[in-house]
Structure 1
Amino acid sequence: MMLHHFKKKHFIIMSVSFLSVYLVLLIIGGVGPQYSIVRDANQPMTVCSGSPNNCTLTITPATPVLTWTDSIGALSKSNRNLALYTQINLFDTNSSISSLKIPMRIKLVGVDSERQYDVSTTNQTFPTQCSSRQCQSFLVVNEIGVDYPAYTVTIDLFGFDNITSVEQIDFTFQYVNSSYALFEMLVRLIFVIITVCAFAGFLFSLRKFNWRQWTTEQRFMVLILPALFFFNITSGVGALMIDDFFKTIFISVLFYFWFVIFDGIRKNGTEYSYIKFYVPKIVLAVSFFLSSLVTMSIFEYKQKHDPLSINPSYTMIIFGVISAIIMIVFLFYIVYLIAKGWITTKTLPFINIKLRLLLLLSVFVIAALGLGILFSWIDSTGRNAIQFFSYSGLVNLYIFALTILYLPHPNSDMLYQNLNRDGAELPHLRLDKDKEEEEFNEVYL
């Protein structure tokens, strides 16, 4: 591994700096703007006024018994999505009701300065569980992507069992805070700029060497940094499929990198063929990428064609389970490789502290990333500023640290010239060349 440029104190300083910057990012996320804005509708829908005994609703099949209309404006594309939640309020005398099924027809109309546009019309029965005087709120409008500055919602309520037990229905609009969207985009822009600079600087540092002379880690960084660029450039404002596609590519490349590097530490000093060493790892990474891509495609299709459905399709469940199983296998496999690599470092006293710090840093990132994927804490946007910084900041700092770690030694060109002239082997290509590495540091540092 290309670890000559760093001594023990350099690794300790880098680790402390990594944790310090990450802590600062979490603090910034904690004081950042809130993710969503919740706004109550102008007025509720009064179903029965007074008491259930005085309810005079006339229930006719296929005819709405009540109609509610409200509008919301001052929206922009940065608000990302518009949701409308409904909550049923019961009379005190009917607190024993445990569930209701509410049939509704919801019409959503987009409004701009020129005219109105019919966005969607949905007929659906919404089940809800009740306790005491209130029932659980449920989603009746879920518009992915805000294309108009204002929307008008019209809801027709049809008759249902125990309708006379309902006093009123409250409505609440919810959408992404534009301040948060701007905040996230600025942070992503900063990460993108740093990534571009890091990639350009890394390539510039390798300009004197033929690509065949690059270490495995350096070749990986040339692949990981562009993947990180596209991971950062997603904003959640555009197509979610594109955002998730780039995110999945980056995670798959990162897993493949971990497989190769950690298994390389475990098999240090042993000969292995290309097919037996690399192909199984490629198959694992590609299988995760494909299963995740299929799951995301089904999810986005369902979001567009049935955004109010609360039950995932069987196909989505199957591929979701497959992705989860693959992720669990990945985590166990990486834990195994790290454990074996940790044991291997005991036989390498000179670079023991260096490899262990690298392994500990990687374990921290792998644990956070794995848990985030399994529990859906990582998505295209992040649900709050802390969550966004927790994962986006962690991943970026980790890749930037690896970029610094795998930079070639300032005097590597002198070393290459001497070794090429003498026909000697490069000392940094093997982990067990402790004495040669120590001599190299004494001569060239």
Structure 2
Amino acid sequence: MAREIEAAVQMKLYTMTKRKLAGVFIIFFLCFSLSVVVGLLGPQVVYTDAHEEELMTNVYGAKMFSITTGMELNSLNQQLWLLATPSARPVENDTSMEGEVTPTLHLFYLDDEGVERPIMYKPGPDHKRVISCSEQQCNTLLLFHLGYIDKLSYKVTVQLEGLDRIGLFDSVLFEFKTYKSAFTQLEIWFRAFFLALTFVVTIVYTRSLRIYHWKDWSIEQKWMMWLLPLLLLYNNPLFALAFLLSSAVPPVVDGIFQAFFLSSLLLFWLCIYHSIRQPKRTFCKFYLPKLMLVGLIWLSAIVLATWQAINERTDPGYNYKVDTVNFTGFKVLLLILASLYTLYLLYLLIRDFIELRNVAYFDLRLKFTAVFMMIVFSISLAILVLRFGTGILDENFVSDISTHYGSSAEFLTFYGLLNFYIYTMAFVYSPSKNAMNESRLHDNPVITMLTDSDEDVMYGSADETAYRPLSRNTFMNKFDADSD
């Protein structure tokens, strides 16, 4: 079966020797390593203000506590969590106990004169938390989460109804957790740095392709023209608004931008590995199935992020674990979609390597994209495993402090990895110096057979059998057309 031939602007990738290509990877790893080192030298992320409270019993028998933040807060602290860890009394022949408690919260803020002002919100119908203790060690409960800080100090009155029915407790350790201002400043500066750098790379890349008609661009070059502006959104030029507006909109917008870029990156990998074998691409047969699969992943992530943010805005005591049915459904859906995506991607990769492993230029495009993708995927997976360990598949969503950055190194690792990944691809896929004269020859393996010597074919086989996937009829028809 004849395969269509796709003419395209010659990329730098085709003119690179193995030494130059190795140099590109070395520079990528150096830049990435530098971001990791800067992160390791950066400030800690979370500040903890601990309060250990002895148990008191009011007239109704419920346990009541009053806790006030001990540090002066500002918008750079970003968010505020309150966690509670009960301390169980030692009991003979009873090493474990478990039960439910219902926390009742009353929130206040302290004005400039130190007067308590209530924070009005509508509590949800069910805020039950499960306490599980083993050998006097109990799990930590997330009581509430504020997604925006606009007051200097907060006070919380907590009643843990049902605590006395579970067992005997001596005290409860309450912990306010918030972001350090120093980390927020680091985040703002490096986001601005990557934003400016992405803008420069986008301009340079766009200028390099401006003299060529977009129909002559390769699919990699077209995708870079799409991913670079999305990387600008990923770095979020509106990020600073989150510290100026007392609204859920900025964090939700930031989540949408990040999910949009990451989903586009997933779509990019599918399209690249499929398009190498299929130059003629129609929307319905080529793009629509991929858009549906990745679109469902994007939609599920957006729903989870906005759902949590909106619920917490109206009720700080809301937590996804009290909405188990809905969140479990989304979790199962995400796992199914992720499995389908992985299987589809592996299928495309295997078919590409079977059909194109010996075809000059095509195998170079395939190997570069595949190796680079595996590097990025492996580093991301390693970071996630080191961060969460065996709990990587547990119910960790946006409200848990465990899902936020554990260190400055984690933040710079993720942002540096994705930014330098896109920059490197933009450089490799940009037009070569002689692209104007050679793009329609060297990007076409069939025509290359007439002009290239064995030394010109730097990657791939120079043997005639290397070009078998392209039919002889297609080659002769093209040769006759050029002769006329």
- TM (norm. structure 1) is 0.82
CA contact (8 A) 2:101 2:128 kept: yes
Percent same amino acid among aligned pairs?
A: 21
**1:404 to partner: Cα distance:** 0.2
Looking at structure 1, the residues matched to 79 and 450 of structure 2 have their Cα atoms a distance apart, in angstroms, of 60
- Work out which of the residue numbers 297, 300, 316 in structure 2 matches 1:291: 300
Aligned to 2:414: 391
Query: What SS is found at the alignment partner of 1:32?
Result: coil
Q: CA RMSD in A?
A: 3.4
Aligned to 2:212: 209
Moved more, 259-268 or 174-183: 259-268
Q: Deviations over 1:269-293 (max 9, x none)?
A: xx55453223322332323222322
How far residue 66 of structure 1 moved from its aligned partner, in angstroms, is 4.3
Measure how far apart 1:203 and its partner are: 1.0
1:180 to 158, 179, 183: 183
Deviation at 1:336, TM superposition (A): 2.0
Q: Which runs of 5+ in 2 are unaligned?
A: 1-7, 243-249, 386-391, 457-484
Pairwise mapping of residues 99-138 of structure 1 onto structure 2 (< 5 A)? 99-113=98-112, 116-120=116-120, 124-138=127-141
Equivalent residue in structure 2 for 1:264, among 253, 275, 280: 275
The verdict on how the C-alpha distance between 1:255 and 1:350 changes in structure 2, with shifts beyond 3 A counting, is closer
Contact 2:234 2:257 survives alignment (8 Å): yes
Cα distance, 1:401 vs. partner?
0.9
Equivalent position amino acid for 1:19 in 2: F
2:130 maps to 1:151: no
TM-score (norm. length: structure 2) = 0.76
Check 1:70–1:436 CA distance in 2 against 1; reply closer, same or farther (3 A cut).
Answer: farther
Among 8, 14, 22, the alignment partner of 1:4 is 14
Q: How does 1:28-67 map to 2 (within 5 A)?
A: 28-41=38-51, 44-47=52-55, 60-61=59-60, 66-67=64-65
Per the alignment, in what secondary structure is the counterpart of residue 14 of structure 2?
coil
Secondary structure of the residue that 1:85 maps to in structure 2? strand
CA contact (8 A) 2:147 2:309 kept: no
1:409 counterpart residue number: 432
Quote the offset at 1:159 in angstroms.
Answer: 7.0
The match for 1:322 is: 333
- Pick from 289, 296, 302: which aligns with 1:280? 289
Structure 1 runs not aligned, ≥5 long: 49-56, 417-425
Q: CA deviation at 1:250?
A: 0.8
Of 26, 31, 50, the match for 2:36: 26
Deviation per CA, 1:52-85, whole angstroms, max 9, x where unpaired? Answer: xxxxx5x643x75644343333211121111122
> How far 1:339 moved relative to its partner?
2.4
Higher RCO, 1 or 2 (CA under 8 Å, sep at least 6)? 2
SS in 1 for 2:276: helix
Letter of the structure 2 residue corresponding to residue 300 of structure 1: A
One-letter code of the match for 2:430? L
Secondary structure, aligned partner of 1:98: strand
Offset of residue 400 of structure 1: 0.5
Whether the aligned pair in 1 keeps the contact of 2:300 and 2:334 (CA below 8 Å) is yes
Does the CA-based 8 Å contact 1:35-1:385 persist in structure 2?
Answer: yes
Between stretches 198-207 and 29-38, larger displacement belongs to 29-38
**Equivalences, count:** 419
Residue 78 of structure 2 corresponds to 80
1:89 to 84, 87, 93: 87
Matched residue SS, 2:131: strand
Deviation of the 1:325 alpha carbon: 1.5
Post-superposition offset of 1:235:
4.7
Q: Deviations along 1:101-140, whole A, 9 cap, x unmatched?
A: 4454322212342665422566955431122334222122
Structure 1 pair 433/228, CA: closer, same or farther in 2 (3 Å)?
Answer: farther
Please state whether the residue corresponding to 1:161 is helix, strand or coil: helix
Query: For residues 436 and 172 of structure 1, what CA distance do their matches in structure 2 show?
Result: 73
**CA drift at 1:100:** 4.7
Cα distance, 1:248–1:91 mapped onto 2, change above 3 Å:
closer
Match of 2:348 in 1: 337
Q: Structure 2 residue aligned with 1:167, among 159, 165, 170?
A: 170
**Aligned-residue offset at 1:243:** 1.4
CA contact (8 A) 2:65 2:158 kept: yes
* 1:9 aligned partner, one-letter code: R
C-alpha distance in 2, partners of 1:345/1:130? 58
Name the amino acid aligned to 2:107: L
Offset of 1:303 from its aligned partner?
A: 3.1
Determine the C-alpha separation between the residues in 2 that align with 1:150 and 1:159: 29
Cα distance change of structure 1 residues 286 and 126 upon mapping to structure 2, 3 Å threshold: closer
